[in-house]
Amino acid sequence: MTVRIDQAKCIGSGQCVLAAPDVFDQSDDDGLGLVLISEPPAELLPGVRDAVDRCPAQVVTLEE
Amino acid sequence: MTEAAVCPVPHENRVHPLGAPAGFAEAISDGPVKMLWPNGVEAWVISSYAGVRKVLSDPRFSANKDGQPEMRTEGEQVLGLPEPGNMNVMDGDAHLRLRRPLARAFMVKRLNEMRPRIQEIVDEHLDAMERAGAPADLVSSVCLPVPSLVIAELLGVPPEHQALFQATAREMFGKNGSRAEYEAKAEELDGVLLKVVQEKKASGTTDDLIGLMVNDTDFQMDELLFLAIGLLAAGHETTSNFFGLFTLTLFEKPDQLAILKRDPGRADVIVEELMRYTVGRLGGAGLARRAVEDVEVDGVTIKAGEWVAVTFQANLDESLCPHAGELDLERRAVSHLGFGYGPHQCLGANLARAELQILLRTLFTRFPDVRPAVPVAEMDFREDMITYGAATIPVVW
Ligand code: HEM
Ligand code: SF4
């Protein structure tokens, strides 16, 4: 299970951080989304799926 | 096949001040339907949750709003013109160029740092309301001044100009606003902002949003001024209205208000549900987009060049959550459309969230008995604005 953000279209909305604060952060330089844990443990997956759903730019993916 | 007559979009006569315009829900019940706006422009109305997300995120729909369907019956378009700095009407890279550099100022962690200061502003206004005594008007004592001061601080504009940017916002968001009157206000505000810009240039600061735009972006002066005015206006008008609408919604549903009072620490989740439900219940036709090529949405083909308008009633779609037509403050946060979706999703959403959470939690903790002084149905609502809300909310406690 790999989490990725395609930064090319990320708008730095922080929805991923709200959905799964342990897995995502925003870069201090430009506010864009960052993946902190690219292979998150099972208990964090619901939050990651929520981030995939909420990301307004549709750039968060979870490869199952 | 003969073309059926296009029906006018229902946009007046809300049966309940917190509900949709009369006839709107019926008009959209069979899926996408083309309607005629008061300014003579036709648009497809899309109302399913999936359909609205598609319209707001598919690049085959442009955000260019020149000539868009509007509720106005007179005068010329004020909002949504292709002006330098108007990110809201831009697509693709041009949009990202303006939007991205601002993301830093609205980062979740940046706003978390601002929370103590927002709390202080909220406390000061509630103190003043308490000192003045009941009855009070919640709109003029809290709903309007708090977001106004917060956005002024975030931008780095002296608070004494509050009245001017409140007036500019009223011109900007008036349904039948006049271009000339808006320009006169914007020019006055430009004068104030130009001075602020000079100061930021001299100090080199990037600690506030204007400083950041002046000293750390490639924005031209006209872009920067447009963005600053837009943020000042959008930053308080909407948040202010929604705090009022949320409060009224809770006044009407004491069982739900009891949930907030019992567990104010869940204000974050509660604000998401209030936003989903309140926006959904107000319904009506909202954000517009224009197809740049033929696109299929909810079984109809929107042809290149045609307008579409989404309705936030999609927030009440059962595909989003069970018993979606009910306010349920015990629900987990769902991906509602209250702040839009796609690349134009509200830039200030995290700020608005922080303000609304602090306002709600503090109001009902400090004044557990606060209640409307007149029935909600008898209150005065601002039907003349694109940004709908209560004109006054008389309360006692
Ligand atoms: C409860 C409060 C608010 C609500 C309900 C709200 C709602 C929205 C919605 C629905 C959009 C999408 C427009 C579109 O798709 O064309 C939007 C965009 C925007 N909002 Fe908000 N907003 C709120 C507060 C704020 C605040 C506090 C700010 C500024 C600090 C702000 C600044 C903006 C800006 C700049 C955009 C344009 C973004 C773009 O086009 O990329 N809003 N807002
Ligand atoms: S939710 Fe999407 S657009 Fe927003 S910061 Fe995260 S990755 Fe970027």
Give this complex's ipTM. Answer: 0.96
CA B41 to centroid of ligand 2, rounded, Å: 34
Q: How many domains does chain A have?
A: 1
Contact B63, B88 (CB under 8 A): yes
pLDDT digit string, tens, across residues B115-131? 999 999 999 999 999 99
CA B86 to centroid of ligand 2, rounded, Å: 22
Atom of ligand 2 nearest to the CA of A14: 5
Q: In whole angstroms, give the CA distance from residue B65 to residue A57.
A: 20
What residue numbers bound the domain in which A42 lies?
2-63
DSSP character string of B29-45: TTS-EEEE-TTS-EEEE
Secondary structure of residue B61 in the 3-state scheme: strand
| Residue nearest (by alpha carbon) to ligand 2 atom 4 | A13
Q: Which residues contact B167 (CB under 8 A, 6 or more apart)?
A: B185
User: Which pLDDT band, with edges at 50, 70 and 90, does B1 fall under?
Assistant: very low
Report the DSSP beta bridge partners of residue B61: B291
In this complex, which of B101, B103, B108 lies closest to A18 when CB atoms are compared? B108
Contact map slice: B 332-361 vs A, CB within 8 A: 335, 340-343, 345, 349-350
DSSP state for residue B207 in the 8-state scheme: S
Q: In whole angstroms, give the CA distance from residue B229 to residue B392.
A: 25
Would you state the structure tokens that stand for residue B37, as one six-digit string? 């706006």
Is the predicted pLDDT of residue B175 greater than 80, yes or no? no
Put simply, the answer to whether A14 touches B104 (Cβ < 8 Å) is: no
Structure pTM? 0.95
Judge whether B207 is closer than 8 Å to chain A, CB to CB: no
pLDDT digit string, tens, across residues B333-379? 999 999 999 999 999 999 999 999 999 999 999 999 999 999 998 89
**Chain A environment of B106 (Cβ under 8 Å):** 12, 14, 31
Does residue A23 line the site of ligand 2, with CB under 6 A?
Answer: no
Is the predicted pLDDT of residue B2 greater than 60, yes or no? no
Contact B224, B85 (CB under 8 A): yes
Would you state the structure tokens that stand for residue B182, as one six-digit string? 């808006």
Tokens 């100009």 map to which residue? B161
Backbone angles phi, psi at B18, to 5 degrees: -100, 10
Task: List the single range of A29-33, B10-14, B241-245 with lowest mean pLDDT.
Answer: B10-14
Does residue B106 line the site of ligand 1, with CB under 6 A?
Answer: no
User: Which pLDDT band, with edges at 50, 70 and 90, does B184 fall under?
Assistant: confident
- CATH fold group of domain B7-396: Cytochrome p450 (1.10.630)
Put simply, the answer to whether B345 touches A11 (Cβ < 8 Å) is: yes
Query: Computed over its alpha carbons, how large is the radius of gyration of chain B?
Result: 21
Percent of chain A with pLDDT over 90: 97
The CATH number covering residue A46 comes to 3.30.70.20
Contact A17, A27 (CB under 8 A): no
Backbone angles phi, psi at B103, to 5 degrees: -60, -40
